Amino acid sequence: MVQKRRLRVMVAKPGLDGHDRGARIIARAFRDAGFEVVYTGLHQTPEQIVDAAIQEDVDLIGLSSLAGAHRYLFPRVVEILRERKAEDIMVCGGGIVPEADIPVMKKAGLKEIFTPGTTLDSIVAWVNANVKPR
Amino acid sequence: MKEIAEKVVAGDVRTVARLIRDIDDGMPHVRDALKRLFPHTGRAYVIGITGAPGVGKSTLVDQMISHLRKNGKTVGVLAVDPTSPFSGGAILGDRVRMQRHSMDEGVFIRSLATRGHFGGLTQSTRSAIDVLDAMGKDYILVETVGVGQDEVDVVRSAHTTLIIVIPGMGDDIQAIKAGILEVGDIFVINKADRDGTDKTMSDLRLMIDMDQKKYKDGKWKPPILKTQAVFDQGVKELMDTIEEHRLYNFKTHGDLPFRKRKDRVGQELAEMVKARLIEEVIGGLVESGAFDMVVEEIVSGKLDPYTACERIVIPVLGKRP
C-alpha cells in the first residue's frame, strides 16, 4: 500500500550528563504522536549523534541536556551537520537552558529550545507544525 | 534512478539511508532503483538474530560487529522494533547498545519499525538487505523480536539464523518450539551466568534431539552455545560456529549464490507478488474510501465477508474463479 511519509525523529543525549528520564519521556510522547523515534542512549558525542542521524534518515534531532554543557554541545551538532551537508536535518533542544542562552542557541542554528515546564503536548504540536518529513 | 543506484553501489551513506526510507514509505520509484541494484546483490552474508524482548539481542549484535570488524569485514545492521498499533509510532532503541560503532565507516546501522504493513515487513526488510548488500557490506545482521509470522519470515531470509534465549525461560522455549525452532541454525543461551543455564541447555538439546531423523547424512544439527554478551564471553566461539555454518552452506549448495537457490527464489517471488497485489488492490480501495464502505456494510450486517471478498477479487481477476 502506498504509505504516507512517517516522521522520523532522533532523541539524543550529548555529553556526560547522566540523566535521561526527560529524554525517555519525550521519546514516549513522540511515539504516542505517531512518530518513529530513534533513541541513542546516554553519553553521545556530537559526531556520534550526527552519524547516527544520517544513517537513520531522521527529519529532526532533539537534544537533551541537563548538565550545563549545551552551550558547546548543541551548536556543535548543528555545525557537524553542516560539515556533512546534512543541514536539512532540523535540530531542537531541551533541558536546563537559561533564558539568556536561548537567543545564542537559536543564532547557532537550533530551531527551538524547550525549557522546564513545557508540556509534552506543546512540544508535539511544535514538531507537527514545524517539521515536515523531507 | 540510475543515479541513486550508482550512488548506493559507491557506498554513499546518505543515498542508502534515504533509499531505505523510501522503501519503508512505499514510494513507487524505489522499484526501479531496486531493479538496478539487484545485479550488485548476492555477495553479502546475512545473519538473522531473533529472540524474545530482553534476551540481549542488541548487545550480542554489538559484540558481533566488533568481532567482524576485527577481521576486516564491513557490516550492515537492520534492527527491527515493533510499531505501536495504537499511535503508529515506534521507539527504536536497539541502537543504544551499538552506538560505539556509529562513527565507524565500515558499519551502517539502521533501525526499522514494523509499521502496519499488509504483510510488507518481510518485503521491505528484504529490500533493505538488498540495498546494504549492493552497498558492499560483507555481513548483514538482521535483528527482530521473534514474534509473529512476518518476523519469522524475515529471519528466514538469512543464511544463518540465530535464536537467542536466556536461562529460566521454560515456557518460552515451548513457544519457540511451536514457531521458530525449525528455522534456528544456531541456538544461543545468553546471560549464561544465571541460574538455570544447564536446565535450558538440556531442554533445548532434548528438543533438537527429538528431530534426530532430520540430521542424518551430514545435515547441519543446530549447536547450542552459551554467551554472556555484555562481557564478550562466548562470542568468539559463536562467530566460529557461524563460520562453520557458512562453510556448510557453501559445501551443501556449492558456489551457487544463495539468492539463486530455487527454493528461496520461488518463495521470495511468491511473497513479492502477494505483497504487490495487496498493495495495489487494497491500497487503491483504501485510498478511494471504497474499502471502508465495504467494511461498514459488513459491520452493519448488510453484507457477509465472503461476498465482500469476492466483490473485491473478481473484478481484479476479470472472471469468476
Helices (H) and strands (E) in chain A, counts: 5, 5
Contact B282 A28 (CB under 8 A): no
Query: Nearest Cβ partner of A48 from B28, B103, B283?
Result: B103
End-to-end CA gap in chain B: 39
Give the three cell numbers for residue B296: 461498514
Coil vs helix vs strand at B284: helix
Strand partners, B162: B49, B186
Which is nearest to B235 in space by CA: B107, B61, B52, B46? B61
Note the pLDDT of residue B176: 60
Regions of chain B with pLDDT less than 50? 119
Using CA atoms, how far apart are residues B243 and B221, in angstroms rounded to an integer? 14
Q: Does B120 touch chain A (CB under 8 A)?
A: yes
**pLDDT value of position A2:** 46
On whether any CB of chain B is under 8 Å from the CB of A120, the answer is no
pLDDT computed for residue A101 by the predictor = 96
For domain B42-256, the CATH architecture is 3-Layer(aba) Sandwich (3.40)
Taking the CA atoms of residue B139, residue B140, residue B143 and residue B148 in that order, the dihedral angle to the nearest 10 degrees is -130
Binned at pLDDT 50, 70 and 90, residue A81 comes out as: very high
Q: Can you name the residues that pair with B164 across neighbouring β-strands?
A: B51, B188
CB–CB contact A39 B17 (8 Å): no
AA identity, residue A132: K
CA dihedral B142, B143, B145, B147 (to 10 degrees): 20
Contact assignment for A30 to B89 by CB distance below 8 Å: yes
- Rounded-to-integer distance, Cα B157 and Cα B145, Å: 15
Distance from C-alpha of B170 to C-alpha of B306, rounded to nearest angstrom: 41
Helix, coil or strand: residue A59: coil
In angstroms, rounded to a whole number, what is the distance separating the alpha carbons of residues B223 and B32? 41
DSSP B161: E
Measured distance CA(B102)–CA(B221) in Å, rounded = 35
The whole-angstrom separation of Cα A116 and Cα B234 is: 45
Question: Which residues lie below 8 Å from residue B49, measured CB to CB, with a gap of 6+?
Answer: B57, B60, B61, B141, B142, B143, B144, B155, B161, B162, B164
As a whole number of angstroms, the distance between CA B221 and CA B318 comes to 48
Domain regions of chain B by residue span: 42-256, 271-317
Contact A47 B115 (CB under 8 A): no
Q: What value, to the nearest 5°, has the Cα angle with vertex B266 and ends B264 and B270?
A: 120
- From residue A107, how far is each of A32, A98, A101, A102, A132 by CA, in Å? 31, 15, 10, 9, 21
d(CA B91, CA A33): 11
Full set of structural domains in chain A with CATH:
8-122 (3.40.50.280)
User: For residue A1, is pLDDT > 50?
Assistant: no
Residue A78 near residue A109 (C-beta atoms within 8 A): yes
ipTM: 0.92
Q: Tell if the CB–CB gap between B99 and A38 is shorter than 8 Å.
A: no
Q: Does A2 touch chain B (CB under 8 A)?
A: yes
Residue-wise over B184-222: b if at least 16 C-beta within 10 A, else e?
A: bbbbbbbbbeeebbeebbebbeebbeeeeeeeeeeeeeb
pLDDT at B114: 84
Spatial CB neighbours of B205, under 8 Å, sequence gap ≥ 6: B224
Q: Cβ of A115 under 8 Å from any chain B Cβ?
A: no
- By CA distance, what is A23's nearest residue in B? B91
Residues of B in contact with A26 (CB under 8 A): none
Question: Reduced to 3 states, what is the DSSP secondary structure of residue B101?
Answer: helix
| Cα separation of the two ends of chain A | 20
Q: What are phi and psi of B5, to 5 degrees?
A: -60, -40
Neighbouring C-beta atoms of residue B318, cutoff 10 Å: 6
CA A28 – CA A75 distance, rounded (Å): 25
Placement of cell 544439527 in the chain: B221
A115-126 mean pLDDT: 96
Of A36, A44, A85, the CB nearest to B90: A36
